[in-house]
Chains A and B, each alone.
Chain A
Amino acid sequence: MYHNLLSYLALVLVVAIPLIITALGGMFTERGGVTNIGLEGLMVIGAFLGILFINKVPAAAVGGSYVLFFLGSLVAASGGILFSFFHAIAAVKMRADQIISATAINILTPALALFLTFTLNLGQGDKLPINANPFRISEVPLLSKIPFIGDLFFTNVLPSIYVGIVILIAAYIVLYKTKFGLRLRACGENPHAADAAGINIYRMRMTGVMISGALAGLGGFYLILGFTIEFDANVSGYGFLAIAVLIFGNWKPFNVALSALLFSALLTLSKGVAFFPALENLGINSNIWSMLPYVATIIVLILTSKNSLAPKAIGQIYDKGER
């Protein structure tokens, strides 16, 4: 039983860390007042570039597999930044409909990844193979001896788990303890007042969107690395789920992390039932287990709609001349 629970929770963490990272990215853009449903597409491009990088660059050339992992993460994040820039400039500077320009990214990046993989023969057909094993940390000395926590967090894990925790804490500090965070939040709540106070709304919002691009790219990379052995330019809607996680987490970093854990527990249920004989014996179709998180999302959204703390100016185009 202990081992079953442990392997289920490990599976939950594999999904939860990328979700947390991506949802935190969503938090930065939405707190600045720009919606970004392009997170899905940004995850795809991050995953594509990151996987491509770690596939093509030998670990020995850069000094060990962990350095390669770190560099791959950087590549994934910068890919996300590059493509989120298109959304940022359209949505912030050019007053485009934020949903439409983000949709363009969602259509572009999977197509681009598939096209490049196929045309340049980067993998097998239009799929990229993935081998995450060299990056696994088999055991962290001392810490892995702690009961339960040691088994879950410090034995046979990907480094992404630590990156995720660092990002979570950093996101909290940046958003609540720095000048930048305060200004960003002001842009999302009352841009006109913020503008009057001398804040450059456009620059703030652009930065917010690009942070979301970096984090979504990173999230996509970690998700694909931990979850599958083959990448076909598809992150199974986790970018959209990250937005639901964000809404459920009320746009606050630690709440977002908690709701991501909850969602991941539901998301992995269809695979996780195998670890729990009692649930498996119910004989419920696995597709119903798979459906559950999405039904739960809708119910949760209904329940939280009454006391939602959404940024006030979210999705609104900022126009200096408007009164």
Chain B
Amino acid sequence: MDKIKGAWRKFIGFMQKMIQSIKRFFAKPKVKKVFQSIWIAIKKAILFIFKLLKQPVIINSLLAIFFGLLVGFIVMWATAGSFDTAVQGLMRLLKGGSTNLQSFGNVLFRSAPLILVGLSVAFAFKTGLFNIGASGQYMVGGITALYIANLVTMPAPYHFILAALGAIVAGAIWGFVPGLLKSKFNVNEVITTIMMNYIATYLTVILAYRAAVYDNLLTAVNTTFPTANIPKVGLDTIFPNSNIDLSIIIAIGVAILIWFILKKTTLGYQLKAVGHSPEGSKYAGINNKRNVIISMMIAGALAGLAAAMSYLPLKPDYFRPVTKINPMGFEGISVALIAFSNPIGIIFSGVMISYIKQGALTMQFVGFNKEITNIITSVIIYMIAISSFIGFYFRNRSHKRKIKKMLLNKGGETDVS
């Protein structure tokens, strides 16, 4: 027993000496200085990152995207159980759309509807409305475009224009209903647009099964209507063998148009005012109710146009009569949020989503489901939702510290303005 006690005492004494010597080592002015400067450098670096974070919106988006990819990578790592496979998966995701001009052309081709649906959600956002109904507007727009494409005979460019206009009108009508209900009866547009999604789903199923347009072999609405196809306008010479057509140019043009409307016109100003402060805009003499309806109609029209862009090309999406809500509207929400509802930003976020979706298609070869893109986008959306708080938190902290420092330096003077 005594032996153990003695050993224990010795051990304690040794540890105390060790601690003292470590303390003495750190107490030396030179060492202290070095460590302090390292610590300050780390702090400065972190502060610098967050200074960027709180500054432009772009950095927020990029950081959110980074976090999204990080979480996606961790999920892949955890499920695959091996680091290498996860790295392979991530590389496929990041490289999938850029292997050659053809696949990049396809990325641009697929991004056109995404950009337009994103604009639809963003436009409603600017008026303080949340358009979850983009899916429904997209579906009715799509079926209208297909009906016009299949049943009307017309010369080439006009047929396409008519079909696209039909889609726009149908989408606008589908957006009008929630807008009207919101402004007349103050019914929450989130619920009504969701209900409109379901109504659109069942309605389009009924319409798609009609013998006049339904193709039994394809199990979808007929897709051969040469005069109504979106013109290629020679873009496929730049991106050889790809499906790219006028749609991407239309999407970019509409994005610029929406930017112009929001930024430079009275209508845009009024819409933003309603979104910013309904009470204040009412006081300023802006007709809130009318603006809510207009905003929802434009949002619907944009979603309808998006549908025309994905169902009218030479290599279109198939319109299948399934009783499931088209996921396009939810992708539109992602596209809009990643760009913080900025119309010009949406061009880039639309291309980005399309890009990683293309990459995800090749991930199945290494055993991952393509759903990883949705995991990543959801994390991005979440990070964007909390980004303003995180920025605010660090700004607040550094501000407080500055005040503290000033107080210390000035020896307690209270002049801290």
Contact = CB atoms under 8 A, between A and B. Distances in A.
A237 B185 contact: no
A99 B130 contact: yes
B386 interface: yes
Contacts of B239: none
A234 B324 CA distance: 10
B80 interface: yes
Contacts of A290: 202, 323
Contact of B371 (A105, A111, A288, A306): A111
Nearest to A121: B367
Interface stretch (A67-75, A90-98, A138-146, A194-202): A90-98
Given A108-B379, A301-B181, A101 B386 contact: yes
B269 interface: no
Contacts of B381: 100-101, 103-104, 107
A86 B368 CA distance: 25
Of A100, A105, A114, chain B has the most CB atoms within 10 Å of the CB of A100
B394 interface: no
Nearest to A289: B202
A119 B363 CA distance: 11
Given A100-B337, A118-B369, A302-B181, A297 B382 contact: no
B319 to A, nearest CB: 15
A107 B195 contact: no
Contacts of B202: 287-288, 290-291, 294
A94 B187 contact: no
Contacts of A243: 191
A115 B80 CA distance: 11
Contact of B379 (A90, A104, A234, A301): A104
B190 A107 contact: no
Given A100-B337, A291-B199, A301-B187, A111 B194 contact: no
B377 interface: yes
B334 A301 contact: no
B94 interface: no
Nearest to B383: A104
Contacts of A165: none
Contacts of B382: 86, 90, 101, 104-105, 108
A301 B187 CA distance: 7
B123 interface: no
A290 B187 CA distance: 22
Contacts, number: 139
B349 to A, nearest CB: 15
Contacts of B198: 237, 291, 294
Given A108-B378, A119-B80, A291-B202, A94 B371 contact: no
Contacts of B192: 298, 301
Contact of A295 (B132, B199, B374): B199
Contacts of B330: 103, 106-107
B79 interface: yes
B323 A111 contact: no
Contacts of A97: 385
A177 to B, nearest CB: 30
Interface in B364-407: 367-369, 371-375, 377-379, 381-382, 384-386, 388-390
B249 interface: no
A94 B367 contact: no
Nearest to A233: B371
B314 interface: no
B70 interface: no
Contacts of B139: none
A146 to B, nearest CB: 37
A247 B191 contact: yes
A237 B371 CA distance: 19
Contacts of A237: 194, 197-198, 325
A298 B181 contact: yes
A114 B371 CA distance: 7
A90 B386 CA distance: 6
B384 A291 contact: no
Contact of B191 (A94, A107, A301): A301
Contacts of A302: 181, 185, 187
A239 to B, nearest CB: 10
A288 B206 contact: yes
Interface of B: 75, 79-80, 130, 132, 177, 181, 185-188, 190-192, 194-199, 202-203, 205-206, 323-325, 330, 333-334, 337, 367-369, 371-375, 377-379, 381-382, 384-386, 388-390
Ranked nearest first, the 3 interchain pairs of A and B with the lowest CB-CB distance are A111-B374, A108-B378, A118-B369
Given A105-B382, A115-B369, A118-B368, 13 more contacts: A86-B382, A97-B385, A101-B381, A101-B382, A103-B132, A111-B371, A111-B378, A112-B375, A240-B191, A244-B195, A285-B206, A287-B202, A291-B199
8 contacts: A101-B386, A104-B379, A104-B385, A108-B379, A237-B325, A240-B194, A301-B181, A305-B187
